[in-house]
Copies of this chain bind each other. A is one copy, B any other.
Amino acid sequence: MSERKFDGYEPFYIQVSDSIKNDIREGKLIRGEKLSNEAELAKELEVSRGTIRKSLSLLNEEGYVETVHGKGTFVRNDKISSPIAQQFVSFEEDMRNQGLNFETKVLTKKVISVDDSIHYELKMADNTKVLYLERLRLVNNEPSILLYNWIPIDRCPGIEKYDFTNIGLFEAMEETMGEKINHGIREFSALNADDYIQKVLNLPNDAVLKINQKSFDDNNEPIEYSEVYLRTDNYQVTSLLQR
């Protein structure tokens, strides 16, 4: 009767929020429904109110619930599509999270010496070797995302041996670095696609959303640079923002 609901592998607040996410996904909690108040949740789950608050704060950030002062916490009814402007998940992780049917084609994979522009982005010494990747992502068999990546191989030794058809880049990088990616910057712009991009993405016209991305390690050193082109009719980029 007085058994702890959670184990010791993850912080309680993560386990609590995961458990609530599951309840939402499984329909045990429905849209607009009010959760128990914080004191009750704390009692039920046998953790302190502070821990419950931290869980709810996470769920708020991620758009699962909305908390209103004086009223309570409610399940959100508008789950957003792709939070790549809000969270540093890779496109692959994002598509998995959304449960999309997708496929990756590796168009080019080779080790090259960086040219001047990439050089600059990666703040690297002369003649550094980088892995150059060109990949196409299809969502529901429709070409939707074209990705170019540059990764210095001295930071990710052996990364050139991966077949990226079934493994994501972030996963491969974190394995070969022996360290997690710390953070990243994404910059969004619109431009006219050249003939090649237009053809590969099968664009209805030549406007394309471009995302420039840089990833950094714990020491704030750049470890990856990307240019990503998206067909925004196939793949929505959305932010759900609290004011």
On A, residues with C-beta under 8 Å from B are: 66, 68, 77-78, 80, 85-88, 180-192, 205-210, 218, 220, 230, 232-233, 236-243
A161 to B217 alpha-carbon distance, docked (Å): 52
Which residues of chain B have C-beta atoms less than 8 A from A86's C-beta? 85-86, 239, 241
Nearest chain-B residue to A215 (Cβ)? B243
A200, B230: Cα distance in complex, Å: 26
Which of B206, B218, B241 is the one whose CB lies under 8 Å from A88? B241
Query: Is there contact, CB below 8 Å, between B218 and A190?
Result: no
**Interfacial chain B residues near A68, Cβ < 8 Å:** 218
Is B185's CB under 8 angstroms from A232's CB? no
> When the two chains form the complex, which single residue of B85, B189, B207, B242 contacts A191, counting CB atoms closer than 8 Å?
B207
Q: Residues of B contacting A186 with CB < 8 Å?
A: 85, 238-239, 241
> What is the CB-to-nearest-CB distance from A58 to chain B, in angstroms, rounded to a whole number?
12
Number of copies: 2
Q: List 28 A-B contacts (CB under 8 A).
A: A66-B183, A66-B220, A77-B220, A78-B185, A80-B185, A85-B188, A85-B239, A86-B239, A88-B241, A181-B243, A182-B242, A182-B243, A183-B242, A184-B243, A186-B239, A187-B238, A187-B239, A188-B237, A188-B239, A189-B236, A189-B237, A190-B207, A190-B209, A190-B230, A192-B206, A207-B207, A207-B208, A209-B209
A207-B192 contact given A183-B242, A184-B243, A185-B80, CB 8 Å threshold: yes
Residues of B within 8 A of A182 (CB): 242-243
Q: Which residue of the partner chain, among B78, B184, B207, B236, contacts A206 with CB atoms under 8 Å?
A: B207
CA distance A85 to B240 in the complex (A): 9
Given A85-B86, A207-B208, A218-B68, also A239-B190 (CB < 8 A): no
New contact pairs (19) apart from A188-B239, A191-B232, CB-CB < 8 Å: A66-B220, A68-B218, A85-B186, A85-B239, A86-B239, A88-B241, A181-B243, A182-B242, A183-B240, A183-B241, A185-B240, A187-B236, A188-B209, A188-B238, A189-B209, A189-B233, A190-B190, A190-B191, A207-B207
